[in-house]
Structure 1
Amino acid sequence: MVEKHGGKSVLITGGASGIGLGIVKRLLADGASVASFDLHPTEMNTNSSKFLSLTGDAVDEAAVDKAVQDTVAAFGGLDIMVCNAGVIAISPVIDMDFAEWRRVTEINLHSVFLGSRASARQMIAQGRGGVIINASSGGGRKGAPNLSHYCASKAAIISLTQSLAIELAPHKIRVNSYTPGHIETPFWKGIAEGFAAISGKSPDEVVEDFRKTVPWGRFGTPADVAATVSWLASPDAEYISGQAIAMNGAEFPY
């Protein structure tokens, strides 16, 4: 069996849970050497030399640079960067304080900038190209009530990705983003509680209302997203750059 990412080294931010953990597991299964960088240790049932858990803040410039250096030291280089770290919060804009706006937009957007910059510098120095993949959202393509800070940050990530793709193409570094719809992750507890407080519905009713908006009939899974990320990182996607690829069960059909 040929390993899709055999011999490749990967750094993933926000890899300790949810979509990030799904990507860690998928790329390890595909044969890559994977470093997961998160505020919390990434718990994996493996002692493999191909896995490295790094802890730190994805919006700390020095910590992100060090995560790249530690990945290179462990695996001999960096071929694939996945900027997955992010947060979500629910609040009507008229009730939102500036601190919350800053927290959501800074974590979501600044982490992608710092991760993309640090990995691009390393990839350019290596001289063999590379792949950068950034986490956006369906909310980055279509605004939603009570999510203005989240949607704005995710839209900015799509634009940043497009700019980076053009700028880094001469170095044979491809840059794309993924835009999930509703994915079953630990985020949903906070999402459901946030919308329940606004709507007067129960959290379970909120989740069911969102589920009904998905034509495919179910929420996505981290594995659904990870499969797309694996493909974007592979040679099969060699001519794809600057794109925002959706996995959403036809919820946002564009």
Structure 2
Amino acid sequence: MTELASKYPELSGKVAVITGAGRRQGLGEMMARRLAFEGVKVVLTDIGAAAGDNLPANAIGTSEELEQIAAEIRDAGGDVATFACNVLEPSEVEAAAEFARRHFGALDIWINNAGVGYLMQPIVEMDDDKWDTVLGVNLRGAFLGIKYAARAMIAQGRGGRIINIGSQASKSGFPHASAYTASKHGLVGLTRSAAMELGPEKITVNTICPNHITTGLGAWQNAHFSEVTGKGHDKYMEDMRARIPLGRPGLQEDVAKACAFLCSDEASYITGESMNVSGGEEYH
């Protein structure tokens, strides 16, 4: 895909599905680019359109963004396809797994990246429907992804890799983020149980737990918490950097590197883990 040498040549020809991969500068986009660089055939999925008041078009990956990202990866030499998928709908998640097998002939890697992190309120003000949306996308969506990816991988009989995208909120609590924190803590438990069940099938299941990354969603969070704390943006970001031992917030590339490693043969004996990628900010 580039003149640089692949770090994990064993990934060449593998097939991956990444949910929630239609946002510019998102984690899904960067993981797709990294895996495509390694020779992985990638299926990018996202909802593609508004799906209710709590999933508006301006907060999800649009069909246009999804296709633009795919086109750029193809232009760089990657092999990529797109598929519209709402992770709240079991039939669509199952169809995404089947699409990968039909289009590319296999399913080796499934990345549960779709998530909602913009519905934040104090507990005493949290709307029930917003709570349900966050838990639905972040936790139920991951469960469905694991379920249907595992079925496909078991049918193939050659194992596979399932990676869940957690958060620092998978390990620590944050004010105004009860639903988000609960969903990401739940993802750790789901990962551990799935790893135990699927290990005999040679399927590893792990979670990546990044600290704050200024994606499109991350920029919204910066603005939100700058206002909530009364610090203003510059002071809020200064304080964030000060509490991170490596001195900076995370980058999309940091998660993409961890993802490629967990997909590689070097991580073949790692399962049930929740890997912190936080510059030392989170060490639980």
User: Is TM > 0.5 for Structure 1 vs Structure 2?
Assistant: yes
- Pairing partner for 1:210 from 225, 235, 240: 240
1:91-132 CA-partner distances (Å, limit 9, x unpaired): 211111111111111110011001110100000011111111
1:170 positional shift? 1.0
1:49 positional shift? 7.1
- Asked whether the equivalents of residues 37 and 78 of structure 2 are also in contact (C-alpha less than 8 Å), the reply is no
- Asked whether the equivalents of residues 91 and 194 of structure 1 are also in contact (C-alpha less than 8 Å), the reply is no
Structure 2 SS opposite 1:54: strand
Cα root mean square deviation, aligned: 1.5
160-169 or 87-96, larger mean C-alpha shift:
87-96
- Asked whether the equivalents of residues 192 and 204 of structure 1 are also in contact (C-alpha less than 8 Å), the reply is no
Q: Quick one: structure 1 residues 37 and 200, their matched pair in 2 at CA, closer, same or farther if it must change by over 3 Å?
A: same
1:2-39 CA-partner distances (Å, limit 9, x unpaired): 63410100000011231111100000001100001112
Q: Does 1:20 align with 2:50?
A: no
- Asked whether the equivalents of residues 137 and 179 of structure 1 are also in contact (C-alpha less than 8 Å), the reply is yes
Amino acid at match of 1:224: D
Matches of 1:24 and 1:49, distance apart in 2: 9
1:190 positional shift? 1.8
What count of residue pairs does the alignment treat as equivalent?
254
Superposed, 1:167-246 pairs within 5 Å as: 167-246=197-276
Unaligned runs of 5+ in 1: none
- Pairing partner for 2:12 from 6, 12, 15: 6
TM-score with structure 1 length normalisation? 0.95
1:85 maps to what in 2?
114
Matches of 2:17 and 2:223, distance apart in 1: 32
Unaligned runs of 5+ in 2: 48-61
- Asked whether the equivalents of residues 39 and 78 of structure 2 are also in contact (C-alpha less than 8 Å), the reply is no
1:138 positional shift? 1.1
Deviant stretches of 4+, over 4 Å: none
Q: Percent identity?
A: 36
